[in-house]
Amino acid sequence: MTRRPRSRDPASPASSQAFGAVSGLLADAVTYLVAAVCVGSLRVEEKPPAVSERRGILREIGEGVRFLVRDPYLRTLASFAAVGNLGLNGIQAVQTVFLIRSVGVTPGGVGMVFAVVSIGGLAGATLAGRIARRFGTARGLLLCELVGAPFILLLPLAGDRLPLAASAVAWSVAVCGVIAGNVIAGSFYQAYCPPAMIGRIRASASTVNFSAIPLGALLGGWLGEVLGARTTIWIMASVLLSAGAVLLASPLRAMRSFPERPAES
């Protein structure tokens, strides 16, 4: 017999529910306004980089795409990020539904879970530099993906075989690994790409990476409707972890650190 979560009163008291959904959205909007004011208050003058003669937008796009496709490290990272985004956004498409309907968490409790998970993201951004220095950039990225990210497999066990608190902490550890890996990979792009080409290369890589975001959300939502939220999270967590196979199938598996510049330079 299928066990259903105990029904809860949407208006039940909880500190994170005290002000209602509208006030929560307003507070979130205010944080963006504060961020915009802080950024606008910066007074840093940077010397514009030297710009070569423009040769047409299509030709420049083609140069960025060719550089990305031909370089084994950039090609690997773009593919890795696309697979990771597919799985991660598939999870995000159903995570709230999973917590409320499958686990039986109140809206306020969902906010608390996301707060715990966000701590993992902050920790990952903080630890990325230390991981890269201690293990090397390439090996550090592999460790983040192969050691930290697999904790996401404990998320779909929440409320079934594992307490929600344990699953939330595991989820936070997985996010820590993902974010730390993203920081290491992003730093590599900045140091490795030729300055005159970095905009075109990053634009090409971002097109590959970000195109997986709506696809992951669409796939996650469809699977959630057909198979249920818990099964969808199992599937999309497996997709997220398969990004590690992309790294293992590349030259990175035998390297300690990324190269400092392209071989042809």
What is the span of the domain harbouring residue 98? 63-254
Best-predicted range by mean pLDDT (24-28, 213-217, 254-258): 213-217
Domain for residue 85, yes or no? yes
Question: Is the separation of the CB atoms in 154 and 166 below 8 Å?
Answer: yes
> pLDDT digits over 50-103, tens only?
655 667 788 888 888 999 999 999 999 999 999 999 999 999 999 999 999 999
> pLDDT digits over 236-252, tens only?
999 999 999 999 999 88
Domain for residue 42, yes or no? no
CATH number at residue 217: 1.20.1250.20
Domain for residue 142, yes or no? yes
Domain for residue 262, yes or no? no
Can you give the pTM of this predicted structure? 0.80
Number of domains in the chain: 1
Domain for residue 15, yes or no? no
Strand partners, 198: none
pLDDT band (50, 70, 90) for residue 108:
confident
Question: Is the separation of the CB atoms in 112 and 232 below 8 Å?
Answer: no
Q: Quick check: helix, strand or coil at residue 61?
A: helix
Domain for residue 36, yes or no? no
Domain for residue 139, yes or no? yes
Residue with token string 């944080």? 31
Domain for residue 183, yes or no? yes
